Amino acid sequence: MVFILSPWASLDLREFIENKRKLESWNSALENKTVAELLVGWMACLASGLAMLHATNIKYRGLNPINVLLRITGSNILPIICDYRLSKHFDAMSRAVIQSGTMFYKSPEELRGSAVGRADDVFALGTIFVELGLIIDGVPKQRLNRIVGEDGYAKCWPRAHSTKS
């Protein structure tokens, strides 16, 4: 296990999603890349990292942008998945009912209290991809929050709890 006690990354993905202007200070890291190219590269890195975890039978449980550090390395900015406190070793067919993570990134199955497997991690990653896609399209994160709050999980959440009783 590795403990990092000094600043290692400039910020986390949540900070970037909430204020993409933070990227402007990283002009040297952009070096001939558009924001879209950079973010699609991040998506590939995150998908590859999650696939590697799953290939070694580790379910992340609770993936969200706070747990993705952004580290400047020369002329690139790399996303690095961190904080494995909720991670769990599993066999290929295992499914858990334990709830963990941030509500916005939970799959509908987890919100209903159903058993979840690796697909729950993939759902969380897809939600992060939606947020990054909005940045590529120039849509503010607050708009997604409004959409989800008015039409999305806000309506699912009460039903999710009522199915448990």
The pLDDT tens digits for 20-35 are 776 665 665 566 778 8
pLDDT at residue number 159: 46
User: Can you tell me the distance from the alpha carbon of 160 to that of 80, in angstroms, rounded to the nearest whole number?
Assistant: 31
Which residue bears the tokens 């999980």? 153
Q: Which residues of the chain have pLDDT under 70?
A: 1-7, 22-31, 84-102, 147-165
pLDDT at residue number 20: 72
User: Can you tell me the distance from the alpha carbon of 142 to that of 126, in angstroms, rounded to the nearest whole number?
Assistant: 18
Query: What CATH number belongs to 11-162?
Result: 1.10.510.10
pLDDT at residue number 111: 77
